[in-house]
């Protein structure tokens, strides 16, 4: 190099406008953020440079409002190989294998264009996982839609589900689990959170940090088009009535190309040609190149003319900010270009050497022989804005006494009403559109257990995985809700017999500039951190989605928890289906009859009030460890954790899933009124069906775990003595009819 890198001043592009305060504002940069930019650059930026800063400093890429809080989450455990900060988290699952996983939101795009928004959400999270060297083995998704009566809801459900299926099915990755809720708070801002779990050998994990002066930087995958420009900035603002005009900022996915990219990357990864690899997600080429260079402490010179382009007439600004899908950036070892090129050409993908690593710690971009951007990399990262935004915690609402809630007038009707309400009705209409069986490893399918369980290829281990959050609890009291979301995920893994290992969190909240929203975020983090610590359940990856508001109305705070656990012998795993008569039905855990924020209260009495059920983490741990031990001892035929809808809903789900009835009653001496006992949502509880009832009850007593027999399985009906008597067929029909009927209704 003849002139020092920082002396190479960029030229302006033809017709490039002068930077005005309005242009700065359109890029989502606050005026003090722009001042900071000027200080780093020491001069006015070009449009390309402004665009790069805008993307890198967007909430989506920089985590500027959430960073200080995310640090409070526990991220360490002996089995954690890689915590937050990489493309996905990595945990050791034994036998030289690692599970690599993450959950990520695609909320804003999915509201604007549901099919493509959801599809590219799946595509993005798959890339995050396979870029680390893992073959994806399962997908999950957590969806929150608005009120079913809202005119857009049906269209959004239809598009999102088709988009998730369209992408995952084509990729050949089973979609094995998830959750779907409806609430009016999501009317203008749905949530689409997608999770991928992959498996890699522990000694073949790939990271993003660039290394090796002069090493080639290679672009592979699809060509770059004009789609998704400013996606990261769009995802970092509130919605308003103009949002639908932002459709061009939504990316368009091509799962076929991603499938080829997956196979090509895994083929290249089997060689030793790769130094570092990073997918191009939000803010595309900008964030991937900056992250790789920054993590490696190096500089990068890129010749943008070399970037494969979908159409003519594209300019550097568009190339750097496009969010075209199915693209990767790879640092190769020197001299390996031809070997790599052959693999990508075999898979009919683009391959281009677009630059090389330097020691300048600067990003220098050229176009038609001119320099168009020259940015010092470290300050862009280290001096990125970080905000300690004002926050105000939500007060704990008054505890609602069960005696203040009327019992149902008609018990049979109340159970049917709950089993068919939008949140509890069967979601079979959704998951039958997802290939959940491909790969032939799915041991516990959707709706057959609290968590999905898939066999780890090449052995007898099983991976259990789930996604959980109860947004109404988080809304009522974020600390309790955060605690509960983690505890429920832990419980769901436990109910299959697996040992919960780690968490990925997807934090969906409103506008962080409002102290009460920031307080929800802070409270949820505090609660989650407590649960993660108490349950040895570290957070290894995650994603934050803020500004989930429309016209100033925020969503329910939704910290979705994705979790993974392992069971050494998949033959020991149990589901929640009740398939045989004559088994003892045992309730594990204590029931006070907690009706505050319950589904019963909301669906039967139209009230969303009271404190959510408290989460006693010591009890969670004790009860869960006990249940897992009983499953491991092969004493358990079926197990179901209790959550939404409480005991009776949980039991009804077990009965209809397995086609076997049950006869139960509240144990003698129950203090709670019947409706609180059967519909209360007390935490840390499980129902177990077992042929070894006496052994389990004795073991529970010895372990200091509350456990009581409620009755027996058998017969064609669910009977609660003196209260409920319903044929399973009737419950099943009500449970399964709601969603298809809703989706097929003509507006």
Partner 1 sequence: MKAAILVFPGSNREGDVAKAIELVTGRKPQMIWHGDGDFEKTDLIVVPGGFSYGDYLRCGAMAAQSPVMAEVRKRAAQGVPVLGICNGFQIVTEAGLLPGTLMRNEKLKFICGDVHLRVETSQSLFTNRYQAGQVVKVPVAHAEGNYFADEDTLKKLEDRGQIAFRYCSSDGTIDTSGNPNGSIRNIAGVFNETKTVMGLMPHPENAVEPMFGGSDGKALFESLVEALS
Binding site residues, partner 1, CB under 8 A = 162, 165-166, 169-172, 254-257, 259-260, 347-348, 431-443, 455, 570-571
Q: Please name the residue that has the structure tokens 């990316």.
A: 251
- Rank residues 244 and 256 by Cβ distance to partner 1 and give the closer one: 256
Q: Are 329 and 277 in contact (CB under 8 A)?
A: yes
The closest of 533, 528, 565 to 449, measured between CA atoms, is 565
Contacts of 494 (CB under 8 A, 6+ apart): 500, 565, 624, 625, 627, 628, 641, 686
Cβ of residue 310: shortest distance to partner 1, in angstroms? 16
Strands 327-332 vs 370-376: parallel, antiparallel or unpaired: unpaired
Pairing relationship of beta strands 175-182 and 135-145 according to DSSP bridges: parallel
Q: For the packed helices 337-346 and 255-269, what is the interaxial angle rounded to 10 degrees?
A: 140
Q: What are phi and psi of 192, to 5 degrees?
A: -125, 105
* β pairing state of 686-690 and 707-713: unpaired
Ramachandran region of residue 693, left (φ > 0), alpha (ψ -120 to 50) or beta?
alpha
What whole-number distance in Å separates Cα of residue 473 and Cα of residue 481? 5
Minimum separation from the CB atom of position 172 to partner 1 (A) = 3
Is 108 annotated in the active site?
A: no
CB-CB contact of 321 with 234 (8 Å) = no
Question: Among candidates 197, 211, 210, which has minimal Cα distance to 90?
Answer: 197
Q: How many CA atoms lie within 13 A of 289 on its CB side?
A: 33
Enter the tokens of residue 681.
Answer: 């949502």
Q: Using H for helix, E for strand and C for coil, what is the string for 55-89?
A: HHCCHHHHCCCCHHHHCCCCCCCCCEEECECECCE
Residue 169 vs 492, nearer CB to partner 1: 169
Cβ within 8 Å of residue 272, ≥6 positions away:
333
Nearer to partner 1, 184 or 438 (CB): 438
Write down the least CB distance from residue 175 to partner 1, Å.
9
Q: How far does Cα 728 stand from its chain's mean position?
A: 34
**Among 360, 383, 382, 385, which Cα is nearest to 371's?**
360
Enumerate the H helices of 659-692 as residue ranges.
674-679
* CB neighbours of residue 402 within 10 Å: 23
Q: What is the CA radius of gyration of the chain?
A: 26
Closest separation in Å from C-beta 440 to partner 1: 5
Residue 441 or 475: the one with the smaller Cβ distance to partner 1 is 441
- Sort strands 662-664 and 553-554 into parallel, antiparallel or unpaired: unpaired
Work out how close the CB of 437 gets to partner 1 at its nearest, in angstroms, rounded to a whole number.
5
Minimum Å gap between C-beta 744 and partner 1 is 9
Q: Which CB atom, from 120 or from 531, has the smaller least distance to partner 1?
A: 120
Instruction: Answer whether 693's CB lies under 8 Å from 742's CB.
Output: no
Q: Which of 60, 356, 477, 640 is catalytic?
A: 60
DSSP 95-117: TTEEEEEEEEE-HHHHHHSHHHH
CB of 220 to partner 1, least distance (A): 15
The nearest distance, CB 185 to partner 1, in angstroms, is 28
Q: What's the closest the beta carbon of residue 428 comes to partner 1, in angstroms?
A: 8
For the chain, the distance separating the N- and C-terminal CA atoms, rounded to the nearest angstrom, is: 67
- Candidates 106, 477, 640, 675; catalytic one: 106
Task: Look at residue 366 and give its three-state secondary structure.
Answer: strand
Q: Which is nearer to partner 1, 61 or 199 (CB)?
A: 199
Residue 515 near residue 392 (C-beta atoms within 8 A): yes
Distance CA 108, CA 157 (A): 14
CA atoms of 448 and 426, how far apart (whole Å): 11
User: Which C-beta is closer to partner 1: that of 448 or that of 609?
Assistant: 448
C-beta of 183 vs 436, nearer to partner 1: 436
Least Å distance between CB 736 and partner 1? 13
Least distance to partner 1 from the beta carbon of 138, Å? 13
Residue nearer to partner 1 on the CB measure, 441 or 690? 441
- Find residue 720's DSSP bridge partners: 664, 724
Q: Tell me how long the chain is.
A: 747
Count of Cβ atoms closer than 10 Å to residue 745 Cβ:
9
Burial of 224 (0-12, 13-18, 19+ CB in 10 A): buried
Determine the Cα–Cα distance for residues 14 and 371; give it in Å rounded to an integer: 13
Closest to partner 1 by CB, 345 or 694:
345
Contact 642, 687 (CB under 8 A): yes
CB of 163 to partner 1, least distance (A): 11
The residue to which tokens 């070892």 are assigned: 333
Q: How far is the CB of 595 from partner 1 (least distance, A)?
A: 36
> By C-beta, is 198 or 650 nearer to partner 1?
198
CB 264 within 8 A of CB 350: no
The burial class, CB within 10 Å (0-12 / 13-18 / 19+), for 202 is middle
Is 106 noted as a catalytic residue in this protein?
yes
Pick between residue 173 and residue 373 the one whose CB is nearest to partner 1.
Answer: 173
Q: How far is CA 510 from CA 234, 525, 546, 642, in A?
A: 14, 15, 5, 29
Nearer to partner 1, 201 or 571 (CB): 571
By annotation, the residues acting in catalysis are 60, 106
């Amino acid at each position: 190099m003849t002139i020092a890198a920082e002396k190479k001043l960029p030229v302006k592009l033809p017709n490039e406008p002068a930077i005005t305060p309005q242009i700065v504002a359109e890029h989502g940069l606050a005026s003090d953020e722009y001042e900071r930019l000027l200080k780093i650059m020491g001069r006015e930026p070009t449009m390309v440079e402004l665009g790069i800063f805008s993307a890198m400093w967007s909430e989506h890429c920089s985590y500027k409002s959430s960073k200080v809080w995310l640090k409070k989450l526990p991220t360490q455990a002996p089995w954690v190989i890689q915590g937050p900060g990489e493309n996905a988290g990595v945990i050791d699952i034994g036998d030289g294998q690692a599970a690599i996983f993450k959950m990520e939101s695609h909320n804003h795009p999915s509201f604007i264009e549901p099919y493509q928004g959801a599809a590219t959400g799946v595509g993005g999270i798959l890339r995050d996982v396979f870029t680390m060297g893992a073959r994806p083995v399962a997908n999950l998704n957590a969806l929150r839609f608005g009120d079913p009566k809202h005119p857009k809801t049906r269209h959004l459900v239809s598009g999102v589900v088709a988009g998730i299926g369209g992408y995952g099915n084509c990729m050949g990755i089973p979609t094995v689990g998830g959750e779907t809720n409806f609430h009016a708070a999501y009317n203008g801002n749905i949530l689409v959170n997608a999770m991928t779990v992959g498996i890699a050998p522990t000694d073949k994990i790939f990271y993003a940090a660039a290394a090796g002066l002069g090493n080639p930087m290679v672009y592979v995958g699809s060509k770059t088009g004009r789609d998704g420009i400013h996606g990261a900035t769009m995802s970092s603002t509130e919605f308003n009535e103009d949002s639908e005009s932002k459709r061009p900022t939504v990316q368009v996915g091509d799962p076929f190309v991603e499938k080829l990219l997956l196979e090509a990357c895994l083929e290249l990864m089997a060689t030793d040609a790769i130094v570092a690899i990073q997918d191009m997600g939000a803010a595309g080429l900008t964030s991937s190149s900056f992250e790789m260079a920054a993590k490696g402490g190096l500089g990068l010179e890129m010749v943008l003319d070399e970037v494969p382009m979908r159409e003519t007439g594209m300019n550097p600004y568009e190339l750097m900010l496009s969010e075209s899908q199915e693209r990767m950036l790879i640092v190769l070892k020197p001299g390996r270009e031809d070997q790599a090129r052959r693999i990508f050409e075999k898979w009919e993908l683009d391959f281009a050497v677009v630059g090389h690593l330097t020691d300048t710690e600067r990003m220098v971009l050229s176009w038609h022989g001119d320099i168009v951007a020259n940015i010092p990399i470290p300050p862009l990262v280290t001096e990125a804005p970080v905000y300690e935004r004002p926050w105000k915690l939500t007060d704990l609402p008054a505890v609602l006494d069960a005696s203040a809630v009327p019992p149902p007038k008609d018990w049979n009707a109340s159970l049917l009403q709950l089993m068919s309400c939008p949140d509890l009705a069967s979601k079979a209409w959704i998951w039958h559109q997802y290939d959940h069986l491909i790969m032939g490893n799915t041991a516990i399918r959707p709706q057959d257990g609290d968590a999905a369980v898939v066999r780890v290829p090449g052995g007898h281990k099983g991976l259990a995985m789930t996604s959980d959050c109860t947004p109404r609890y988080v809304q009522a009291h974020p600390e309790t809700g955060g605690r509960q979301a983690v505890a429920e995920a832990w419980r769901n893994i436990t109910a299959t017999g697996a040992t919960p290992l780690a968490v990925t969190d997807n934090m969906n909240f409103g506008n962080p500039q409002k102290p009460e929203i920031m307080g929800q975020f802070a409270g949820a983090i505090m609660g989650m951190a407590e649960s993660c610590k108490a349950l040895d359940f570290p957070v290894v990856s995650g994603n934050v989605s803020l500004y989930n508001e429309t016209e100033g109305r925020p969503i329910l705070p939704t910290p979705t928890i994705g979790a993974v656990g392992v069971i050494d012998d998949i033959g020991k795993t149990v589901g929640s289906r009740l398939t045989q008569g004559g088994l003892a039905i045992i309730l594990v855990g204590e029931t006070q009859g907690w009706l505050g924020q319950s589904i019963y209260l909301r669906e039967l009495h139209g009230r969303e009030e009271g404190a959510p059920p408290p989460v006693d983490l010591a009890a969670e741990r004790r009860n869960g460890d006990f249940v897992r031990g009983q499953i491991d001892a092969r004493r358990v035929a079926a197990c179901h954790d209790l959550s939404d809808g409480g005991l009776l809903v949980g039991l009804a789900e077990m009965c209809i899933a397995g086609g076997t009835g049950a006869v139960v009653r509240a144990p003698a001496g129950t203090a709670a009124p019947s409706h609180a006992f059967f519909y209360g949502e007390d935490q840390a509880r499980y129902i177990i069906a077992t042929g070894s009832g006496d052994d389990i009850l004795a073991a529970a007593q010895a372990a200091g775990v509350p456990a009581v027999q409620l009755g027996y399985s058998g017969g064609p009906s669910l009977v609660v003595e003196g209260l409920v008597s319903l044929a399973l067929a009737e419950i099943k029909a009500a449970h399964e009819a709601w969603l298809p009927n809703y989706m097929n209704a003509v507006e």
